[in-house]
Amino acid sequence: MDSVDHILVIDDDVELCTLVGEYLGPEGFFVECVHEGKRGLDAALGGEHLLVVLDVMLPGMNGFDVLRRIRLKSRVPVLLLTARGQDVDRIVGLEIGADDYLPKPFNPRELVARIRAILRRTREGKGALEPQQPVRVGDVELDPATRSVRQNGKPVELTSVEFNLLHALLREAGHVVPRERLVDVVLSRKFSPFDRSIDMHVSKIRKKLGDSEGANDHIKTVRGVGYIFARPPEQSAPPEKLRSSRS
């Protein structure tokens, strides 16, 4: 098997793509560049890339539309490139399903660091040293082995970051998990009070679980501290680890 990590860059700035390739190549990545949205979408859905770097501003089909269509069929990690200062782009990107974002112009070293962090999270989730048992809290069941989540037996589609975030909250269900720890564990970077990425990912999970800022919500906000996955009243013990049906 080829040991080189294949990265897809979808950006119409040819000079930037060349620069990205020059930086990522020596880091052990093989970079394929596509300069148009529709062709980029086709390449992203080809299943040949470990990660996609996607610009918002693209000819033909913008980055948001490309990301929406990717998420209909694939969980490939996506790092979104946004215009600096455009908070709405970052918010929309995270809501659609981006794993992370990086504002332009950016330091190429930071791009490499972000890519490595995303790939590290993805690989850790797929290849833990010790097999992790499924965890169930109330009507939500998460299986680390298959990277799947079910609510009342029905599948819940999550991105890689959303899955890791939910897993972190479920492991400590009934206890407040500080935002700083979630940023460190889930996003693999230092906490910044101005970075709202975790909050946007939590918001996406809440929507997918049907939460609506009510008393029966699964994930509750502890203002100024972090988040807590609430246990149902009948489940006061630690989150239930489900045994295999074969045991």
Together in a domain, 69 and 157: no
**Integer Cα distance of 98 and 172 in angstroms:** 25
**Integer Cα distance of 217 and 112 in angstroms:** 37
DSSP 8-state assignment for residue 194: T
Q: Which of 58-72, 115-129, 141-155 has the lowest average pLDDT? A: 115-129
More confident residue, 191 or 164: 164
Q: Which residues pair with 2 in a beta bridge?
A: none
Task: State the amino acid at position 194 in one-letter form.
Answer: F
Instruction: Give the mean pLDDT of 3-32.
Output: 88
Together in a domain, 33 and 90: yes
The packing angle between helices 160-171 and 108-126, to 10°, is 60
Give the domain-ending residue among 103, 126, 149: 126
Which of 46, 48, 62 has the alpha carbon at shortest distance from 11? 62
Please state whether beta strands 176-178 and 154-155 pair in parallel, antiparallel, or not at all (unpaired): unpaired
Give the domain-ending residue among 91, 126, 161: 126
Residue 68 maps to a domain = yes
More confident residue, 2 or 135: 135
Together in a domain, 12 and 84: yes
- Residue 240: pLDDT band with limits 50, 70, 90: low
More confident residue, 238 or 104: 104
Together in a domain, 57 and 103: yes
Residue range of the domain that includes 70? 5-126
Together in a domain, 167 and 115: no
* 39 Cβ contact partners less than 8 Å away, ≥ 6 residues apart: none
For the ranges 31-45, 98-112, 141-155, 214-228, the one whose mean pLDDT is highest: 31-45
Residue 246 maps to a domain = no
Residues of the chain with pLDDT > 70, as a percent, come to 87
Could you tell me the two tokens for 120?
A: 């590290």
Together in a domain, 73 and 186: no
Instruction: Give the mean pLDDT of 190-218.
Output: 85
Residue 247 maps to a domain = no
**Integer Cα distance of 95 and 203 in angstroms:** 8
Task: State the amino acid at position 240 in one-letter form.
Answer: E
Domain count, the chain: 2
Together in a domain, 26 and 121: yes
The answer to whether 6 and 30 have CB atoms below 8 angstroms apart is yes
Helix ranges (DSSP H) in the chain: 14-24, 37-44, 63-73, 87-96, 108-126, 160-171, 179-182, 197-209
pLDDT, tens digit, 9 for 90 and up, residues 44-87: 999 889 999 999 999 889 999 999 999 988 889 999 998 766 67
Predicted TM-score of the model (pTM): 0.62
Instruction: Give the mean pLDDT of 97-113.
Output: 88
Average pLDDT value over all residues in the chain:
84
Cβ count near 65 (within 10 Å): 15
- Residue 237: pLDDT band with limits 50, 70, 90: low
Please state whether beta strands 135-137 and 240-241 pair in parallel, antiparallel, or not at all (unpaired): antiparallel
Compute the 3-state secondary structure of the chain and give helix, strand, coil in percent, each to the nearest 5: 40, 20, 40
Sheet harboring 29-34: ordered strands across?
29-34, 5-10, 51-55, 78-83, 100-104
